């Protein structure tokens, strides 16, 4: 079968590999669509970040090269022994987080904090950028008939956003700001709207992304190139500042502005991954009793996210800007996302179809 494999920095190749075998407790999925994630881009241009290279992953034993892809949906085509939660032909998506199940975090239900944590499609021996992949049965979630495979491929990043908003102090009627209107930022906007935020301020340098943010629920818009961000946010909020800011850009400027835009006793939530360290003055926190928290992936939210997409509270289709074949993943996928900021979510299919 064909699969897109990460070999190293800026080295992803579509090659022929053996089709995976379905073991006990495993489910084999024929992939329909898989999204290119920001973490895939980080691995492509700055990796390895989470992909194991010199030492085997402590949970999976895997080392590079690895098949990428963790935002995917498809159909169950084979079931291993002792699998009871799905049947042949089920339409499914996958919660790709891999955990030990025995540590104190896993045992207390905080499995996203497992010290041996990994991700299918980053630290495992398979991924969604392939014709078939096998996963542990407990990671599989059925899709209702009202959700397409394309929408199913957006459930994983939507879970990141929903978990971040749920973990924050945002309350009904609060004002928030989202820094960065890429895929996660656009999903944060929708999650904040679903949670009852009264004002959702999108901060983004790309005008096309700001337009998309407006389409998906932002109430106010700031381009940092044209305005002083913190001053603009204070003007929008009546000098108060926002109750919560979500940092989804991953650059120092947005970090500092997201922190400085929060009201006294407010909260900044870091959702993005970082390629470089940041420097900031802790007085931005101390003198206003602000708080910084981080949000790592997700836990216990996939069923809720599926419901939010099914009932239209999250517009997954609105996030999809392009669909390509697996053979096009480098030039039409990674390169496009790196050079054209009008795109949000690019989906990839291993199917031989006319796009």
Give residue-wise pLDDT tens across range 172-194.
999 999 999 999 999 999 999 99
pLDDT of residue 86: 97
In the structure, what pLDDT confidence band is assigned to residue 263 with cuts at 50, 70 and 90? Answer: very high
Q: Does position 355 have pLDDT exceeding 60, yes or no?
A: no
In the structure, what pLDDT confidence band is assigned to residue 352 with cuts at 50, 70 and 90? Answer: confident
Q: What is the mean pLDDT of residues 79-107?
A: 97
Work out whether strand 71-79 and strand 66-67 pair parallel, antiparallel, or are unpaired.
unpaired
| DSSP line for 280-313 | --THHHHTTT-EEEE--S-SS-HHHHHHHHHTTS
Beta strands across the sheet bearing 11-16: 11-16, 2-8, 66-67
Q: Does position 215 have pLDDT exceeding 90, yes or no?
A: yes
Instruction: State the Cα–Cα distance between residues 327 and 129, nearest whole angstrom.
Output: 10
Q: Does position 201 have pLDDT exceeding 80, yes or no?
A: yes
Cis peptide before 65 (omega within 30 of 0): yes
CB 206 within 8 A of CB 178: no
Domains of the chain in sequence order? 2-154+316-349 (3.90.180.10), 158-294 (3.40.50.720)
Q: What is the mean pLDDT of residues 23-50?
A: 95
Q: What is the pTM of this model?
A: 0.96
Work out whether strand 66-67 and strand 2-8 pair parallel, antiparallel, or are unpaired.
antiparallel
In the structure, what pLDDT confidence band is assigned to residue 125 with cuts at 50, 70 and 90? Answer: confident
Q: What is the mean pLDDT of residues 86-103?
A: 98
pLDDT of residue 335: 97
In the structure, what pLDDT confidence band is assigned to residue 35 with cuts at 50, 70 and 90? Answer: very high
pLDDT of residue 118: 96
């Amino acid at each position: 079968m064909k699969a897109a494999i990460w070999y190293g920095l800026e080295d992803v190749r579509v090659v022929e590999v053996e089709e995976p075998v379905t073991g006990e407790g495993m489910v084999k999925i024929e992939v329909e669509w898989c999204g290119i994630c920001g973490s895939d881009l980080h691995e492509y241009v700055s990796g390895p970040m989470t992909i194991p290279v010199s030492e085997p992953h402590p949970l999976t034993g895997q080392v590079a090269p690895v098949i990428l892809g963790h935002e995917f949906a498809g159909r169950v085509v084979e079931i291993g022994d002792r699998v009871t939660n799905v049947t042949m032909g089920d339409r499914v998506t996958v919660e790709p987080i891999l955990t030990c199940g025995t540590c104190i975090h896993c045992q207390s239900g905080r499995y996203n904090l497992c010290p041996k944590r990994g991700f299918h499609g980053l630290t495992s021996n398979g991924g969604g950028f392939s014709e078939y992949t096998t996963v542990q049965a407990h990671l599989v979630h059925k899709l209702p008939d009202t959700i397409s495979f394309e929408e199913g491929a957006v459930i994983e990043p939507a879970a990141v956003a929903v978990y971040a908003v749920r973990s924050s102090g945002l309350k009904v009627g609060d004002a928030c700001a989202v820094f960065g209107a890429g895929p996660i930022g656009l999903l944060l906007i929708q999650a904040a709207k679903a949670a009852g935020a009264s004002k959702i301020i999108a901060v983004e340098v790309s005008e096309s992304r700001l337009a998309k943010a407006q389409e998906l629920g932002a109430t106010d818009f700031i381009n940092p190139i044209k305005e002083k961000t913190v001053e603009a946010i204070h003007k929008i909020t009546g000098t108060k500042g926002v109750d919560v800011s979500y940092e989804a850009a991953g650059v120092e400027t947005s970090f500092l502005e997201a922190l400085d835009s929060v009201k006294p006793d407010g909260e900044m939530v870091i959702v993005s991954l970082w390629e470089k360290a940041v420097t900031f003055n802790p007085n931005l926190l101390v003198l206003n009793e602000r708080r910084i928290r981080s949000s790592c992936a997700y836990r216990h939210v996939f069923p809720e996210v599926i419901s939010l997409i099914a009932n239209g509270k999250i517009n997954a289709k609105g996030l999809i800007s392009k669909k390509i074949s697996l053979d096009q993943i480098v030039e039409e996928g990674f390169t496009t996302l790196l050079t054209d900021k009008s795109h949000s979510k690019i989906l990839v299919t291993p199917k031989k179809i006319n796009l």
